[in-house]
Structure 1
Amino acid sequence: MTVMLDAVTQGYGSSAVIDGLTVTLQPGITALLGPNGAGKTTLLRTLATVMPPRKGIVRIDGVEVTGERAARRAREGIGYLPQDFGFDPQMTVADFVTYAAWMRGVPSGRWRRSVDQALEMVELTDRRRSKMGRLSGGMRRRAGIAWAVVGHPQLVLLDEPTVGLDPRQRLQFRKIVEALGSSIVLLSTHLIDDVDAVCDRVIVLHSGVAKFDGTVTELKSLGHDGLPGHSTLERAYMHLLPESEQQL
């Protein structure tokens, strides 16, 4: 599977948040970095077909996404976890994830097995009958990750998925992401150590344009000791920001 954005412009009202972005995504784990307001969430919403682009073309698996019919078909292969996702507090965890499988077009005969696999991945098997409203914040976040990965979608979009997870749960999340490596995974995060641990590629957005697109190793090569940061990767990221944003 390949996902292509060709000169995509996106925004809200009169403001352009993404400006003529061209990028191709292939199987593997790609980190999406950038300061608040850089366009990360807007890009994920565009790829999830929540927002049609104002200009440019989005192609998913070779098919241009134009119109609601094409968008619905594309969504069957997309797992999307927004940073703030909605849920019915009275719904059980298993029903919540089953609903995601139904929305994604997973055949009903595979629901139970697919849900069991997703809950096992996020270590929520023993909570399958718990109501969503009674979960802790970290458990709710893990249920959201199960929502995004149930049925093994070919494109997985994760917006700050480790918010609310403790260090052990973040290590478990990394294992989950690594297991999705045969899919296209786009991970928006502010946690540089997660990027260094699991990602093959990094895209750095700033003001709606890609300031960098390459491997983690290539990004690290941009860092030097004169920049703020506790690691080579943090210093490299700071190198890509305007000088006015490099001051702490």
Structure 2
Amino acid sequence: MKNQFSLEINRPCSEKFNQFATTELGGLCNSCEKEVIDFSKMTSQEVISYFKNNNTKNTCGQFKKQQLTTYAPKPQLKRKYNFIKAFGFALLSFLTFNTANAQKGNPSPEKNTINIKNLQGNITVKGNVGDESGDLPGVNILLQGTNIGVETDFDGDFTFPKTLKKGDVLIFSFVGMESQKVTIQDTKSAANINLKVSMKIDSCMLLGKVAVKKVYSSKNK
């Protein structure tokens, strides 16, 4: 994907961020007399915006450990839906017309019956995982008692790869945060999961000069 970049801190600094004089975007380091940007309070989109719009050659910052990862701006969707919408509308009209005509003959109620029992045992679980700063990519989601799982994507979103049933338990885990267990009750049970920040959150902070590396991938022609 175009414009991907990764963030690293190769040599963490031993200075204490909470001892810096407060600035607009973070704090002033007395040792090097530079502003240290506090990225730990930014969302993923705010981090992307900062590194896209600023000269970041000599940027120093404070990050949560999980923020030192690969970032990819959201692609802009091209509007090529007019033909598809027109075709879909025509198809829907055709099906509606044929259904209406069919109902004038001998009705067959069994064909329109939904198997509720089947649906209750095949729940598709989707959701979003985040903390107080925003979405969390890379969160592990595992079905308890199995090896079946998935990770949240860049935006903290996930779709569990296996349909579930009422009573199944999903385990959400991430470095530096407390694991959460969610029991499936219905299709909304696992939506908007917010992992609780660990009490040891300070140990997950990294401070230092940021290395920004471009991530290249093959172009689709």
State whether TM-score is above 0.5: no
Greater RCO, 1 or 2 (C-alpha within 8 Å, sep 6+): 2
TM-score normalised by the chain length of structure 2: 0.23
TM-score normalised by the chain length of structure 1: 0.21
Which one has the largest radius of gyration?
2
- As a proportion of its length, which structure holds more helix? 1
